[in-house]
C-alpha cells in the first residue's frame, strides 16, 4: 500500500478541542506508519487545519501539488 486517504474524520462540536481528534489521528497514523503517503481533505475554515498541521501534514499547494474534487449532486449525476 502506498497511499492512505483519510475520509469523513469528524469530531462532534461538543468534543472538539479536547484532544480526541489528535488521539484519533495519531492512531490512524500509527496504524499506517509504513505507508508512503497519507492524504486528507478538509474545509479551509473548519479549524481542523491547525490540528493536521500540528501532526505534520502540509497543505498540498505548499508542496506544489494540486487537488481536484468532484462532488456528485442529485440523482442524475
Distance CA 33, CA 74 (A): 37
pTM above 0.75, yes or no: yes
Is residue 42 over pLDDT 90? no
Is residue 75 included in any domain, yes or no? no
**Phi-psi label, residue 19: left if phi above 0, alpha if psi -120 to 50, beta otherwise:** left
The answer to whether residue 72 sits within a structural domain is: no
Domain assignment present for residue 56? The answer is yes
Residue 69: inside a domain: no
Is residue 32 helix, strand or coil?
coil
What average pLDDT does the segment 25-54 reach? 91
In a domain, residue 15? The reply is yes
Task: Supply 38's cell numbers.
Answer: 497519507
**Predicted local distance difference test score (pLDDT) of residue 77:** 59
Q: How many domains does the chain have?
A: 1
Closest CA to 54 of 15, 25, 76: 25
Give the pLDDT confidence score for residue 73 in this predicted structure: 86
Residue 21 above 80 pLDDT?
yes
Identify whether 57 is part of a domain. yes
Band of residue 36 on the pLDDT scale cut at 50, 70, 90: very high
Range(s) of the domain holding residue 45: 3-63
Amino acid at each position: 500500500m502506498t497511499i492512505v486517504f483519510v475520509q469523513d474524520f469528524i469530531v462532534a462540536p461538543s468534543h472538539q478541542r479536547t484532544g480526541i481528534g489528535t488521539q484519533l489521528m495519531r492512531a490512524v497514523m500509527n496504524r499506517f506508519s509504513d505507508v508512503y503517503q497519507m492524504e486528507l481533505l478538509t474545509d479551509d475554515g473548519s479549524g481542523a487545519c491547525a490540528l493536521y498541521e500540528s501532526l505534520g501534514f502540509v497543505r498540498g499547494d505548499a508542496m506544489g501539488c494540486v487537488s481536484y474534487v468532484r462532488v456528485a449532486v442529485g440523482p442524475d449525476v
